[in-house]
Amino acid sequence: MKKVTTLGQFIIERQADFPFAKGELSRLLRDIGIAAKIVNREVNKAGLVDILGDQGTVNVQGEHQKKLDVFANEQFISALSCGGETCAIASEENETLVHIDSAVSKNAKYVVCMDPLDGSSNIDVNVAIGTIFSIYRRTSFSGPAEERDYLQKGTEQIAAGYVIYGSSTMLVYTTGKGVNGFTLDPSIGEFCLSHPDMMCPKSGTIYSINEGNYVHFPDGVKQYIKYCQMEDKHTHRPYTSRYIGSLVADFHRNLLKGGIFIYPSTLKSPKGKLRLLYEGNPIAFIIEEAGGRASSGFKRILDLQPKSLHERTPLFVGSTDMVKQAEEFMMKYSPVETV
Ligand code: AHG
Ligand code: MN
Ligand code: MN
């Protein structure tokens, strides 16, 4: 019989990679796994329990919150609060830091950034959605966590990952020693190691971008799209276009199959749409650990210095050769950076 490794077992085994760790990071990752299972349970029966549709509120980004955005936010905050390993959370759904006010949490070493429900526009139509998280060591020494604890470059991340609620539910994460994927086995309620040491193919034939925004794209992106669509047997072009509209799902597919995902700056959003702290950085950490590349079109995402919790960044991410090529088009046709 094939040996099954659960997420819990795997986390404990890997704790040995951090000789001075006291287990807090392991507990934090385990808590995220528990919240993911609860969100997964609700996503699976969303149509039955009145959890679809709008909440009737607007978040700090000016976006209409869905009931599931709010539910997932509450579940992750609650799971992370109980564990006591983080003193505050930066979430897409909260304008300011959510401080965790408990005796155990106030000296916690870690801070967490998260997009509790990614791909909100797909919730009501049964298309894959996700959760993204990123963990840093706190830099302030005492008292409540401060914004500067969060305004660290992506290179300082201790761990990052995502959950994809898709045809099956998976949790994929890295602590800087490779990327591992776990599939939820609903019969035992455990995430089981299914994708050890994930690597992104060096090149691919998929490009993912919302082409509806074409007229607003920088010339570099327009030219790159034309390049993707041109016929050339040697480079397996034309490439195929795949765009789900959930970053987690588009990224996950390209990580496994090889490809490039682009959400560039546009005339309407000069810094792009995606958020650096809880979308760009965790996704960039994962892709680099899987041998791929992530850039703003000009600079490595992980080297960007964040200035605010909800700031945005253009994102070019995926197979190394494809991202490099897209960067060359940006340099040639759109040499003026917007970030
Ligand atoms: P969120 O649901 O967390 O606000 O994120 C939505 C993001 C991301 O998941 C996706 O890649 C992108 O928005 C899609 O945007 P467009 O609809 O503009 O293509
Ligand atoms: Mn998102
Ligand atoms: Mn979201």
Q: Which domains does the chain have, with CATH numbers?
A: 7-195 (3.30.540.10), 206-333 (3.40.190.80)
Kindly report, residue by residue over 123-170, the tens digit of the pLDDT. 889 999 999 999 999 998 778 889 999 999 999 999 999 999 999 999
C-alpha 133 to ligand 2 mean position (Å): 11
Q: How many CB atoms lie within 10 A of CB 251?
A: 30
* Residue whose token pair is 């990052």: 160
- The rounded Å distance from CA 281 to ligand 2 centre is 12
Q: Which atom number of ligand 1 is nearest to the Cα of residue 117?
A: 3
pLDDT in tens, 77-126: 999 988 888 989 999 999 999 998 776 677 788 999 999 999 999 988 99
The rounded Å distance from CA 246 to ligand 1 centre is 6
Q: What is the pLDDT of residues 224-242, one digit of tens each?
A: 999 999 999 999 999 999 9
DSSP class of residue 143 equals S
Nearest to 263 by CA among 305, 301, 310: 301
- Residue positions counted in the chain: 339
The residue whose CA has the least distance to atom 3 of ligand 1 is 118
Q: How far is CA 250 from CA 71, 241, 301, in A?
A: 23, 11, 18
